[in-house]
Amino acid sequence: MSKFSTIIWPKVVLFGDSITQFSFQPNGWGAETANKLARKCDVVNRGLSGYNSRWAKIVLPRLISSQNAAENNIAAVTVFFGANDASLEDKNPQQHVPLTEYSENLKEISRFLTSAGVPADKVIFITPPPIHEPAWEKECVLKGCPLNRHNSVAGQYAQACVQAAGQCGSDVLDLWTLMQKDGQDFTAYLSDGLHLSEKGNQFVAQHLWSLLESRVAHLPFILPYWGDVDTSSPESSLLCYS
């Protein structure tokens, strides 16, 4: 067999909490993104349900190596934390992270990504979405606990995320603001008051793509179109591809 080089597929890494972890479900925003990028790059789900930014910055070096940055071949990273950080300290101290620390954690995540060969212009921060308190309170009651999140507090964390992204030189998708723009009914975007509904996933997919597309537009279609394969000598088409 002829010598050939292994194809290193570029990657888009989705790093976040449960809203990212569940994004590969049918009609999820991660699945939609992966579908758009098929044969161009791998979309890697690194969503960690229940995690906050404090835990995220600790585990990130285990998910992305900074030792061989050139080999990571990362086209873009989304950083989507805040929904758990914004938990009320007195109601949910395990997940709560103070606002100032949250902001610093995002900046530390950005600095690590830079060290791992992912500069700020390849990072897209995503703010937590709004909270529909009546619906989420029902979920809390079912779990035997009081309402542990407020929409106004989520808004403070969203604002901190926007500011941190600006200071890092990265783009940001401000879901908290966009989903409530012009007084629209944002509840349709949420399945339980906190997590995304199918409509919410479509909303994220659409708005994220507007930021992500320019970062992946240069990526070529990997391996030849089937109609371009030389049937008399397929090796010449398939093994010479770089």
By annotation, the residues acting in catalysis are: 18, 192, 195
Q: What amino acid occupies position 94?
A: Q
> CB within 8 A of 71, min separation 6: which ones?
8, 65
